[in-house]
Structure 1
């Protein structure tokens, strides 16, 4: 699949990156270089070949590239409207080492906003307490991770944990209750 993407890109002419750039980065990406895979995704995105970009970012994210993970989270939510995939990649982001605190804070705040929107009967989305609980879980885990380095995040973490507990009960979802129990266990 990857070589097909590179050949197709090489035959195109556009105002985007030149053929040599695609080949050079593509060769590195195919050999397993995670940064090359990420950057090849960026090049494909800029050429409006979104499927190829997603493929390369998925490959890089699977190898632990934080920028790829966050791009996938953003694209699945804001471009594709796929909240489940966004939440999946957001959960992966929580497991990565070395993620900058600002990125974790933005992730947590974004997930809290999503949870609120999914609970608002007057909002743009159909209310979905189970999905809201998933988003709240990601927010709580991100704030918990931030709290380990800066106690100023503790109120946001506690608030997210409380919201998650309420959402877990109102959703009736066994998964949401399990997520709430995991966050509660972190508090000990």
Structure 2
């Protein structure tokens, strides 16, 4: 692929809208109601790296996210120094104060809208050091998600017509 073709392809990729790249399969989206018990959260996290937390299944309003890191801080030993996992977490399972998804979720996750540009989502992923971002509408209704994997697949598909590495016969 020539340099100009590569630059054009990348520029076009950055201009794509989130709705053209995101996963819209709501039946495959990991989400749980905020009042769900911890056992349900753990059940989902055995097969996924994260779970979006919604107010309820009817309005699907996004209120938080739970990642493996959130659970790790709950399971960590009290004897570990705070610099290992961050500040001590009193929500530990040891103290019995964690009962529902909302007790351990991270509130106000970084979000994107369907009409946002891919370049903006990539910037958010870099800035906040996340690999997945929920896609919401103006009412914060969860519509889907966009992940680094989705972006990679979309870009790879575009480069199928323009090989990234030129084959040179030496």
Indicate the structure whose relative CO is greater, using CA pairs within 8 Å and at least 6 residues apart.
Answer: 2
TM (norm. structure 1) is 0.25
Larger strand proportion of the pair: 2
More helix by share: 1
